[in-house]
Amino acid sequence: MDSVLEAAIWFWIPLLLVPLGIWMSLSGKAKTPGKILAVSGFILVLISSWTVPSSDSTASGHLILSILAPSLLMAYGVHGMIFGGNVPVGKLDSSARWSGSLAILISLTILCLMHWYNLTPLWRNGEINPYWIVFWPTFLLFATSLCSVSAIALVGLGEDRLNEAMKLSVLSVIIAGIALVAMLFDGYFTTAEDFRNALWLAAADILGTVLGVILAIAAFAIVIWSYEKSLPLPSSSPPPSDEEIKHVISIADSHIGGEEE
Amino acid sequence: MREARSSWKLLALAAILPILVLVTINLSISDGYHSESFKRFGNALLTAYVLMGILLLGNLFFYADSRHRPFAPLVGMMVAIGIGLLVTWALISNDDLLLEANSGLRAQVLSNIVHLLVSATAMLLAAVLAIGATFAMITGRKRSILFEEEE
């Protein structure tokens, strides 16, 4: 089979099925088939480096599969930390906070070991997955930026949240520190110079993606706004007839008054 | 109103500042900036714009359900996406403006989509960590008693 066709069947079509399945599921018209479509598409993308090893694009599926375990561990940790605290519904045991924070710590450690130890995702012929050096600096830059925003938002928009904001600032500094260490010291398979080059591209990626999304949302808002503006004003409904007024009065009469004590 | 505006500015500064600090340190350590950064920025912007536009186009079907299925917003959004595709085609095809280490237009477009998939995954995971940590901090505080009757 032609390698382009093979890549289309085993990688690109499954990749398209993921948003299509989510859309079908969210629209409520075909919830279960949508979920099945999205999950099967996602699984096919994850295993695409085995189904179409000749395609370079499948390195992305391989990377997502490689980081799946620490990502799930992080999600589990976040869930435990949130619902182990003071929440009105779905409260977990208070030990969930400790196990959750431990899970987050372990997941971050695994990600660090993927850079500084031999857990780095290896792809074809024992070579490093080319998208690892895209993922790692992007994750670090975006996480430090979001933690910083959250800290300022807690202080600026919340009340008496300085203590929590300080903890988030510390988390932001720790993640920035990891990035700084990666800039200075070589990883197991990548050099510090590789990371520094990738950091430039990651910053460009983040800014470009955020601006692109904002522009698309702005275009969407303009399209909806201009359509809504072009609609004629709804005509006023006619005043109630005498019969309607009598009917309303009779209903009101039956509800007002009440029993005398 | 002024307070709200200034807090938005502060949030934007808080978002950009850590990235700027790390990039400045990077600049001081390295020989200079990476020459492909502008190409990456342009490709990321156009790819995110087009793909987000397509996602929002899908969202228009929900909007259409509540508005007697108008055709104009669909056409408008398709034109907006079309402009993005046209700009992408023009900048990649002409004069090597956005072409990275790829053989041609098709390879570059497919590479952009895969690249966005990876960077979006990284951003999503970072968002899980940061937003999760924020809520964990908020719910971590001991419940304050407002009235004695609550006890």
pLDDT tens per residue across span B113-129: 999 999 999 999 999 99
What's the confidence (pLDDT) of residue B107?
Answer: 85
Task: Confirm whether A245 is domain-assigned.
Answer: no
Measured CA to CA, the distance from residue A70 to residue A64 in angstroms comes to 11
The pair phi, psi for residue A122, each rounded to 5°, is -105, 140
- Where in chain B are the domains? 1-33, 35-140
DSSP annotation of A191: -
* A152 and A207 housed in the same domain: yes
Interface touch B41/A204, C-beta < 8 Å: yes
pLDDT of residue A94: 80
A104, A151: one domain: no
- Decide if pLDDT at B109 tops 60: yes
The answer to whether A142 faces chain B, any CB pair under 8 Å, is yes
Token pair 């520094």 is at which residue?
A: A196
Three-state DSSP class for B94? coil
pLDDT at B81 over 80: yes
A23 lies in which domain range?
Answer: 1-59
Q: In whole angstroms, how far apart are CA B135 and each of A62, A66, A107?
A: 31, 27, 18
Q: Would residue A3 count as lying in a domain? A: yes
Other C-beta atoms closer than 10 Å to the C-beta of A176 total: 22
* Same-domain pairing of A166 and A183: yes
Q: What's at B149, amino acid-wise?
A: E
- Report the interhelical angle of B105-140 vs A192-230 (nearest 10°): 90
- Identify whether A156 is part of a domain: yes
Which has more confidence, A145 or A54?
A145
B119-140 mean pLDDT: 93
Contact A128, A114 (CB under 8 A): no
Residue A174 lies in a domain: yes
Contact A135 B140 (CB under 8 A): no
Q: Is residue A171 part of a domain?
A: yes
Which range has the worst mean pLDDT, A65-74, B32-41, B58-67?
A: B58-67
Do residue A222 and residue A140 come from a single domain? yes
**Beta carbons of B118 and A131 less than 8 angstroms apart:** yes
Per-residue pLDDT at A7: 87
**For the segment B33-48, what is each residue's pLDDT rounded down to a tens digit?**
777 888 899 999 999 9
Distance CA A137, CA B69 (A): 44
Give pLDDT tens digits for A85-128: 888 888 888 888 999 999 999 999 999 999 999 889 998 888 89
* Model confidence pLDDT, tens digit, residues A31-60: 889 999 999 999 999 999 889 888 888 899
Give the closest residue to B62 by CA, choosing from A22, A159, A28: A28
Task: Give chain A's domain count.
Answer: 3
Which of A63-72, A107-116, A179-188, A247-256 shows the lowest mean pLDDT across its residues?
A: A247-256
> Which amino acid belongs to residue B1?
M
* pLDDT band at residue B95 under the 50/70/90 scheme: low
Query: What's the pTM value of the predicted model, to 2 decimals?
Result: 0.86
- ipTM field: 0.87
- Measure CB to CB from residue A144 to each of B18, B48, B62 and give the nearest one: B18
The minimal CB distance from A216 to the residues B18, B56, B115 is found for: B56
Chain centroid to CA A246: how far? 57
Residues A107 and A71 in one domain: yes
Using CB atoms, pick whichever of A19, A75, A201 lies closest to residue B128.
A75
According to the 3-state scheme, what is the secondary structure of chain B? Answer: CHHHHHHHHHHHHHHHHHHHHHHHHHHHHCCCCCCCHHHHHHHHHHHHHHHHHHHHHHHHHHHHHCCCCCCHHHHHHHHHHHHHHHHHHHHHHCCCCCCCCCCCHHHHHHHHHHHHHHHHHHHHHHHHHHHHHHHHHHHHCCCCCCCHHHC
Claim to verify: residue A153 and residue A221 sit in the same structural domain: yes
Tokens matching residue A139: 């994750």
Tokens of B50: 């087009």
Banded model confidence at residue A245, pLDDT cuts 50, 70, 90: very high
Residues 6+ apart with CB under 8 A from B34: A197, A200, A201
Mutate to test the interface with B, among A26, A160, A199, A231 (most CBs of B within 10 A): A199
Is A124 part of a structural domain of the chain? no
**Spatial CA neighbour of A176 closest among A145, A206, A198:** A145
Average pLDDT over chain A, rounded to an integer: 90
Q: How confident is the model at residue A259 (pLDDT cuts 50, 70, 90)?
A: low
